[in-house]
Each structure stands twice: as structure tokens, then as C-alpha cells.
Chain A
Amino acid sequence: MRLRSLILTLYLVFLTLPIYWLMNMSFKNNSEITNQGLTLYPREFTLKNYINIFTDPAWYMGYVDSLIYVALNTLISISVALPAAYAFSRYRFLGDKHLFFWFLTNRMAPPAVFALPFFNLYSAVGLFDTHWAVALAHTIFNVPLAIWILEGFMSGVPREIDETAFIDGYSFPRFFVKIFVPLIASGIGVAAFFCFMFSWVELLLARTLTNNMPISSIMTRTASSAGMDWGQLAAAGVLTLVPGALVIWFVRNYIAKGFALGRV
């Protein structure tokens, strides 16, 4: 019993220490970081780094842009995945198994392989450097993922419910929106969570398809050009953790359920 909590505590410390360190640095000014040796907490506590970010549009627009394409992507992914997952969970049709597998393989496609062709493709269709480019590009791994998760939840809903609704005279779209979607609401929540997560954390495609739109990308650039403005870098890093932390907090009760399906 004691051993168990020891292991858990050590692991949680291991997880939180690097994050603590980032936060610690974000509240320091650069002279304290580089000149005063290692300080375990900010001696001269400053919000300067955060104020910089919130007053400079070049910084904070990065967050806004990121959130826009992440939200767009989540919306697109869920709306095309819902009918597709319904088809996979309810019917057999020509090539269904192969199609499902092929969808999944796209979850496994390395972004590095696609970076350049994506650049060509989205330049050709005139979407380069728009939110839509990133939102659409990220569907390549989020649509298969959403289909996979939703299919699992839908298969848990007995087919009798569909049949009863059709007998009662519901049209398919009305049944789907009024009856079916509320039944799998938690599944949609879990799928949206994972779409949000993977779109938010991805950088390679987002950076290739825009002129430094995503916040994480702005961060790298500023950090290297400004001669290592560590405090600023740390503050920007901390702010990228906030949306993730908020989302986790809201879905914390569903996390275990989503994982329980064994589908990530």
C-alpha cells in the first residue's frame, strides 16, 4: 500500500516538475534567469513576460489563430465522422472493412511525409495561410480517429432504438439529430476532446501551411531570434498549456470512459 502511493507520488512529481520549472521561469526576468544562478522560485516576481504577450498582437493573435483552426477542425471532423461512424456501426456495405482500415492508416501517416505535398496542394487551391488550410489538413488524422471513437459508442446503442424511431415515422435526419445524437452525447464529447487535443498539439503541418500562424510556431521563432528571451519563451509556453488544462478539467469524467473503449 505504501509502495503504491510512493510510486504514484514519484511519477506525479516527475510529471509536474518540468511544468513547474517552466512556470517558475515565466515569472522571472531574464537577468535573474541567466545571471543569478539557479533560483527555485522567482525572487523578483514579475508579470512582464505575460504583459508583453497580452499587449502585442503578434503574440496574442497566435493564440486566437490557433484556437480558430483547432475549433474549425473539431467541428469539421465531428460532423463528417458522425454519419460515417453510423454507417460503420449499423450496416455492412461494399468494402466496409477495407475502408475502415484505410481510414485508420491515415491516423498513422507521418506528418513529415505529408508536409511538402500539403504545401503544394493547399497553395494550388489557394488556401495557403488560412485557418481552413490547417483545419482541413488536420482532418487527415482526426476524422479517422473520430470515426473510430464514435463507432465504438454507437455500437453500444441497441439497433432496436433506430428501428422503433423509423416505425414511429421519424425521417433519418430527424431521428439522427433528435434521438441518436443525444444518446451518444458523451461519445461526441470524448471524440471532440481527442480532435481538439491532436489538432492543438500538432505543429509541423500547421507551420508548413501558414506563415507562422500557430502560437507554438511564433514562440519558436521569437525565442531563437531574440537571443533567447527565456522568460518570454516560458510565459508563452505556459499559456499554451491553459486551453489543454481547461479542456481536461471539463472532460475529466469522460477521460476514463473514452480510454475504457480502448480507442484513442
Chain B
Amino acid sequence: MDKPLYHRAWFLVLPAFLLVVFNAVVPMMTVVNYSVQDTFGNNQFFWNGIGWYQELLDPSTELGGRFYDSLGRNLLFSAIILAIEVPLGVLVALSMPRAGWRVAACLVLMALPLLVPWNVVGTIWQIFAREDIGLFGYFVNHILGITYNYTSGVFSAWFTIVVMDVWHWTSLIALLSYAGLKSIPDAYYQAAAIDGASRWAVFTTIQLPKLRRVLLIGVLLRFMDSFMIYTEPFVVTGGGPGNSTTILSIDLVKIALGQFDLGKAAAMSIVYNLIILAVCWVFYTVMTQVDAQRPKEG
């Protein structure tokens, strides 16, 4: 099944290629251009070389400290949501009914949060978690008696954006895992029953290995998206209280549009993008290897 070599296939890719070049390369060049210049406003730019990069990567400077702080917060955020969403998503997928109208109902309900505009996700949780008019905030504050306010408490703010992300995206992992589980033939479960395998053994020896590929994709997507997330936490906390939930993208927009420090923002964009590219490449490599390891299963 080797594909034939046919260089003219490039013509088929050309429209897509041009569109993506227009959208990706031109702006990227603008960013690179900014990142090596400084400005005193009034559109007067002068050459700054790698100055911004040096400042950015040096934790002792103001910019560098800020960058590492928001990078650290972002990594922490990604780690927390992955640690919750992946096991929870798998658990939910395992709990899905196997057939009938209930499957369709579950799928539709689960897909719903995925189609909510991101700032509306923020709005929903902004309302839902408020102590005065939100069901959740009211419940925690007045019934459980725990002080919870995401605009003033650091822990509350973190808790809110994490729960919000879990609400928003766990379904993605669950749907992926569900599709993965569906592809396991019944014979595997029958064989495991005959071999006297416990529920746990069935999970670790049959289900988990078969889920490996989809979970890899799920983790990749969730890592990327949580690393790029902007709108939802911005609507809820605006990066606060203080800077406690200022993650990379929020910081970037603050620098670029808030302070109009184009050079700094551009240098940060480049480094930010490079981190994502690097992680993306590692995953892509691992994924293609997993694919190559198990070609086609009957």
C-alpha cells in the first residue's frame, strides 16, 4: 500500500497552503520583526537585537521574572487539569451505557459544554460561582459555611478556573475514551471473564492498552489548549486577584494590548510558541511511533 510519488499533488495542497501561509507566516514575520525592535511610541522603531529575549529569559529582570511566574502558573494549571480530567474522563467513559437511546442522550449532553463559546463558559461560571446570585457560590458560602470568593481569594480563584476547565473539557476525554472503548471486540471481555480476570485486571490488561492511543491524543489536545487558554479565565478572574491567575496568554495580552510594549510581547510570543511547538513535536513523534508499533489489528 505504498503511495505513489507524485509531486504535482502540491497543486492540490496549494490553496490550503497559501491560506495558512497568509495567516501564519505573515503575522509571524511581523511578530519576529517587533521582537527585535524597541519603540518609543508614535510608530518609531529602532533595532534592539536579541535584547528582549535576553531580558525575557533572565529571571532577575522585571520582564523575565514575570514571564517565569506566568509560565510556572500555566504549567501548574495544565498539570492540575490533566490530573483531574484524564482519569475522570476515562471513568465517565467506562460508565457510559453500552447501547440504546441513553447513549445518544449522554453523548449530546456531554458534547454540549464543548460548543459553548469560550467567553460564555466564563460567564456561566462567573454567575454560577458568585456567592450572592450563583448557586454554587451560595451553596459553599452559606450552606457549607466556607468562605469562597473568586475575586478576592487566591485559592477560590484557582479552584474556580480549574473546576470550570474540568466542566468544559472533561467531556472531550470522555468522548475520545468512549470511542476507544467501543472499538474493543466483545470477545476480549468474554475471554477475560473465562480467564477469571477481575474488573481491575480487565481495565489494566484490556481497556487501558487499547485506550493508549486516544489518550495520548487527548492529553496532547488538553495540554495544548490549557496552555493557550485565555478567554475563560480572563472573563472570570481577569488574571486576579493580584496576578495569581495570570497565565501566559493573559500576561501576553496585558503586555501587548494593555501596555503596548510590542517588543516585549513579541519576544514572549515567540518563546511561547516555541515551547508549544516543542511539546507538539514530541507528542507527534511519540504518536507516530505508537502508530507504527501496532499497524492494523484484526
Contact = CB atoms under 8 A, between A and B. Distances in A.
A140 B20 contact: yes
A22 B118 contact: no
A121 B27 contact: yes
A233 B22 CA distance: 36
Interface string B30-71: 110000000000000000000000000000000000000000
A91 B6 contact: yes
A27 interface: no
Interface stretch (B177-185, B190-198, B201-209): B177-185
B172 interface: yes
B92 interface: yes
Per DSSP, chain A at the interface is helix
Interface stretch (A46-54, A177-185, A239-247): A239-247
Nearest to A112: B249
Interface of A: 4-5, 7-8, 11-12, 14-19, 21-22, 25, 33-34, 38, 40, 76, 79-81, 83-84, 86-88, 90-94, 96, 99, 101, 103-106, 108-118, 120-121, 136-137, 139-140, 143-144, 147, 159, 197, 200-204, 215-217, 219-220, 223, 230, 233-234, 237, 240-241, 243-245, 247-249, 252-253, 255-257, 259-260, 262-264
A149 B84 CA distance: 27
B187 interface: no
Given A25-B127, A81-B16, A87-B12, A113 B272 contact: yes
11 contacts: A91-B5, A93-B10, A99-B13, A114-B23, A120-B30, A121-B26, A202-B118, A203-B231, A220-B123, A252-B111, A263-B217
A144 B20 contact: yes
B117 interface: yes
Per DSSP, chain B at the interface is helix
A80 to B, nearest CB: 4
The 5 closest A-B pairs by CB, nearest first: A244-B115, A117-B27, A110-B228, A87-B12, A112-B249
A22 B125 CA distance: 9
Contacts of A80: 15-16, 19
Given A15-B112, A80-B15, A92-B3, A201 B118 contact: yes
Given A8-B106, A110-B227, A201-B118, A140 B24 contact: yes
